[in-house]
Amino acid sequence: MAQAMSRAYPGEESEIMTREAIFHSSVAYFLTPIGRFLEDDSVTEIMVNRFDQVYIERRGQLEKTDASFASEDALLSAIRNVAQWVGRMIDEKNPILDARLPNGSRVHAIIPPGSRHGTCLTIRKFKTGGLTLDDLVSYGSISDAAREFLEICVRLHKNIMVSGGTGTGKTSLLGALSTAVPDGERIVVIEDTSELQMIQEHCIYLEVQRGNEHGEGALSIRELFVASLRM
């Protein structure tokens, strides 16, 4: 399959392979201190408060680990390599980075002066195989009557607000609700950072873009919403 794609679209395939090769040969090396957590499917989030203080979230529970970067400079080098890989800048004038790893994991970093006590790094790992409303019933999260009510609301195009704190399952619930959307519907997903994975084929994904150090290429949710009305 890969060889066939390479012959049909040599430029696209080589670019994809090159980006992945660059990540695994260079950027991944700098993330070695937390590499085992990136590979561990039971870990959903990695939080580096400073170079020698690493926490993880595993199955909803926060754990302090013995992982550590060699120094503040080592952590900063890792973040700068991620920034370079996605074509963005992080420095004193632009101290915040939002990026995504090849596996879909979300990266958020803040460096001084934005962070008072050193460089901070958070990686929210990408989840595959989301829950359905039936799954939520089987787990006891909602009742069968609630599932039926939510399915009816979705099919009748009712507005539904999903709200909650960080890590409370907003995305999981929204993903479960989306499984009730009929296959005949066209879906436009607009996100600040891409997380949802729809099971329907007739779906497009729009994502906010921060822009480069010159402010070029930025796209707001408002702009994407306006664009979606014409789709």
Q: Which residues pair with 55 in a beta bridge?
A: 47, 64
Confidence of residue 60 (pLDDT cuts 50, 70, 90): confident
Domain-terminating residue out of 88, 107, 124: 124
Residues 157 and 101 in one domain: no
Confidence of residue 151 (pLDDT cuts 50, 70, 90): very high
Assigned token pair, 99: 């990026």
Question: What domain range includes position 156?
Answer: 127-180
Q: Which whole number is the average pLDDT over 3-22?
A: 50
Q: Which residues pair with 47 in a beta bridge?
A: 55, 122
Higher-scoring residue by pLDDT: 117, 24: 117
Segment 115-139, tens digit of pLDDT: 988 999 999 987 766 789 999 999 9
Cβ atoms < 10 Å from Cβ of 157: 9
Q: Does residue 146 carry a pLDDT above 90?
A: yes
Segment 210-221, tens digit of pLDDT: 776 677 778 899
Residues 35 and 133 in one domain: no
Residues 67 and 101 in one domain: yes
Residues 120 and 143 in one domain: no
How far apart (Å, rounded) are the C-alpha atoms in residues 94 and 213? 7
Assigned token pair, 158: 């009712």
Q: What is the pTM of this model?
A: 0.69
How far apart (Å, rounded) are the C-alpha atoms in residues 106 and 155? 31
Residues 7 and 76 in one domain: yes
Confidence of residue 143 (pLDDT cuts 50, 70, 90): very high
Domain count, the chain: 3
Residues 170 and 194 in one domain: no
Higher-scoring residue by pLDDT: 70, 21: 70
